[in-house]
Chains A and B, each alone.
Chain A
């Protein structure tokens, strides 16, 4: 849950750049004839809202209202007592609190001429909320805007790339500090947690789990100023047969990363090593925009789109082991035309002796 450093640092991302993101969305709304867009977020998944305003939804749920013209507003179930803090850490000035997001939405549009309301990623909105809005927004048409913000986020700006590099550095260093094989998993987790949080992450997920008796996995997902990256390594305590296969398969897949690569190609590369091993495995290429939920909010098809130069994405290979445990290796990459730069390359090889 979000309890790391929350900051709005204009030297890292200028306020003008954040406002430009809002303006671009507003332009898209005007072109589509949508009067206002609403974006739903909760403490678990809210990166689109952070992208557009730098707000941190540190608890509960909220909706960001972005009219086609005019200033955005945050509609939140959090109390008005935190509005001062919210203004200090975001570009937002208009903050509205209440127990019902649907009522706050209805109030937001009440003085507007009924037209089309756009819900960003309507599929992931709470279903009962959508049903209530259909009833309560009389005269308004509801349109699904899809991943209109997330798609734009997939090509980070120069400022964003700098923050992604910093986030990746933190992910790598947090994994690195947990690599000594004599550490217990709780001790690894504690060290990684301290490292990441002292570096200023807003949120971090750390998983230190056994991968049979012969190894442990340490996997870190870090959010730095709203930008998520990940890294994972397997720490060997013995010499399991599957370890060389995992290393070779991961390297084969990593070697295929470039503009145009998709998950099927990566799977073919890893499969060249792992197929026939008797082990179940899964490979994924998760855009940084989807790392806050480990890619679990992607609908079929979304998870197999080809990468483009400029994307920042994580390559993640997961091996299911016979005793029910998992071994995971991952890095975060900047995709390029003819290859990929490993942003977590400070880490040693995928499987660490």
Chain B
């Protein structure tokens, strides 16, 4: 892990030098902890945490929750660990000023930093140029180390088991939230710390997925889900749809369409390729069969996205996003969208981008799952 820490710091400092940054301050609000995790290797539970990496010198970390302070100390990547307090943020500003205030400070997730915290920093560093370092950190985290890939592979096992738990609980009369409950319980039992999950059940009237409701499953329903366990900070997603009972012709044709689109997307994945190319390959299949309009933003958000310490990392797999995928980027390719064939349909596999192709991260087969009634 020491090698992992040094490699990350080296990559960040190289990027900082390119951007002319004297310091990087990573901010972690409750729902976006990825950059502080990246710098501290810590699983954080509190509402606020920060990590500071100067261009030269030792990093420091700050947290509000005592358990987070302890966790960061125990992980050992940062030894200068200080409490965060509002509104003065005394320990934070004191550290930022040590050895002279940075001339240019990059803040990752500046866009989300509460006014009370940002103003304390601005007051303490009146001569410092403050810029966003969010995109810089997004690019850095794009390529995973072998250690990170191993965490994601472990999360992949949980994806597969969670999907099985999903199937095991499907039956007529069960409510959507009860399915989610069973999956969440399994995910936690397997040691994951969190999950992101949406679901939708029904027929062609289903236009998208949301948190669960109390709708009861009926024979003939297609039940769609994306479930995304988080293990040791790393999120990995699987998208699958299952039919309760015998699938209709529309559901079968929908699966064939989505599977062909997914295969097409995967076929162009290689290091040096772009998100745009993957999206085009997926969408061209829809266009081929006359369903091109369902690839637009009226019906779908993205055709996949990145994975890592955030559930929805860059790049967005979407036409127009020309982000180059380097070797060991991790993305999910998922042509999820609505068509009149079966309503909203989801199918997606997370993969590691490799020099000449890709490596799968889950073992769940890609079929239209059916659960007998």
Contacts and interface: CB of A to CB of B under 8 A. Distances in A.
Does A pair with B? yes
Interface of A: 1-7, 42-45, 56, 58-59, 79, 81-82, 84-85, 89, 122-130, 186-187, 189-194, 197-198, 200, 202, 205-207, 209, 282, 293-294, 296-297, 299-300, 318, 320, 324-326
Given A127-B118, A207-B45, A297-B47, A326 B67 contact: yes
A123 B87 contact: yes
Contacts of A200: 177, 214
A282 B70 CA distance: 15
Contacts of B214: 5, 7, 200
B367 interface: no
A94 B198 CA distance: 24
Main secondary structure of the interface of B (DSSP, over half): mixed
Contacts of B46: 294, 296
A13 B26 CA distance: 41
Interface string B80-122: 0000001100000000000000000000001111111111000
Contact of B210 (A45, A58, A127): A58
A202 B188 CA distance: 17
B8 interface: no
24 contacts: A1-B195, A1-B196, A4-B181, A4-B212, A44-B30, A56-B211, A79-B297, A79-B301, A81-B208, A84-B207, A123-B114, A123-B115, A124-B115, A124-B116, A126-B111, A186-B189, A189-B188, A197-B177, A197-B185, A200-B177, A296-B47, A296-B65, A299-B116, A326-B66
A129 B117 CA distance: 13
Interface of B: 29-31, 45-48, 64-67, 70, 73-74, 86-87, 110-119, 175-178, 180-182, 184-191, 194-198, 207-208, 210-214, 297-299, 301
A4 B212 CA distance: 6
B37 to A, nearest CB: 15
B181 A193 contact: yes
Given A186-B191, A193-B185, A324 B70 contact: yes
A128 B195 contact: no
A294 B188 contact: no
Nearest to A128: B111
A42 B210 CA distance: 16
Contacts of A127: 113-115, 117-119
